[in-house]
Amino acid sequence: MDRRKFLFDCSKIIVGLPFLNLISCAARAVPIKISLAEWSLHRAIYSKEIDHLDFIRISKKKFNIDAVEYVNSFFFDKAEDTAYLNEMKTIADDHGVKSLLIMCDNEGDLGDSNIDKRKKAIENHYKWVEAAKYLGCHSIRVNARGDSSYDDLMNLVSDSMSKLADFSSKLGINVLVENHGGLSSNGLWLAGLMEKVNKSNCGTLPDFGNFHLGDDQWYDRYQGMKELMPFAKAVSAKSHDFDENGDEIHTDYYKMINLVNSFGYDGYIGIEYEGSSLDEYSGIKATKNLLEKVKIFT
């Protein structure tokens, strides 16, 4: 049986299991490896307080995190600039930091109903696949967006993802879809997309908090994570606000990490602080502290 199908079938069973079963699964899991998503510092970068090239140094020196996830928006015109990419690579190597993936936005909709626009969107991502390869990343993250309904959008995005995955496989790069708004935040829809594409280098990047469907409607984040984890090649620990004990008030990190571990996931969990109650540096530290606290009990 295909491993992804086995895990997907298991996830359907896990949905009905008590939380204690998740804890027992977690006890057999590998330790949490923490990375830092560049979006955690988006305000500082957009305000020019820091530069994109500072991100790698800050990750290691300020937070002692040795693995990073880039956002293409912060070096949007540099995807084919080998001198710039080499500078990124040199900085990462000098600081002992691993480059994990590039989150790609603003390159067109892979589910656009206009065939020419959809073809262009696919091709726009090629340069980021090549940049990811150059930097030593394992993946790029794309968005599953378009202007169609449930089934039609799945058909259009799956066609685009198949083509993009075929291109990426030649370079040994994965193409990941994040739950990132609209139908992609519907765990059942995104899991169905993965089943339809059915390629080994096509997977998900489940985000703890990105389950907003629009119009004040939310998909259950724990249900969604259970549906997306069988295909996960990266995980995003989204955080916004913390209570006096240092726990995230929107997501039960203990429950979420146990859930992630229950699938045997052994990759990095990326800090992505997106709150406003703390400054970005404090928010990153609070999220890291929480993950390290959770690690003791899992």
Q: What is the pLDDT of residue 29?
A: 46
Q: What is the pLDDT of residue 296?
A: 73
Q: What is the pLDDT of residue 12?
A: 46
* CA-wise closest residue to 195 among 17, 33, 11: 11
Q: What is the pLDDT of residue 273?
A: 98
Q: What is the pLDDT of residue 277?
A: 94
- How far apart (Å, rounded) are the C-alpha atoms in residues 177 and 169? 16
Q: What is the CATH number of the domain that holds 45?
A: 3.20.20.150
Which domain range does residue 38 map to? 3-296
Chunk the chain into consecutive blocks of 10 residues (it has 298) and report each block's average pLDDT, rounded to whole numbers: 48 43 44 94 98 98 98 98 98 98 98 98 98 98 96 98 98 98 96 98 97 92 98 98 98 97 96 97 98 84
Q: What is the pLDDT of residue 30?
A: 55
Q: Do 284 and 55 touch, CB atoms closer than 8 A?
A: no
- How far apart (Å, rounded) are the C-alpha atoms in residues 47 and 41? 10
* Tokens standing for residue 181: 């708004």
| Stated pTM of the model | 0.90
CA atoms within 13 A on the CB side of 245: 7
Q: What is the pLDDT of residue 214?
A: 87
- Only one residue has tokens 């928010």, namely 283
Q: Do 183 and 149 touch, CB atoms closer than 8 A?
A: no
Q: What is the pLDDT of residue 107?
A: 98
> For the chain, how many structural domains are there in total?
1
* CA-wise closest residue to 5 among 194, 185, 165, 176: 194
Q: What is the pLDDT of residue 298?
A: 62
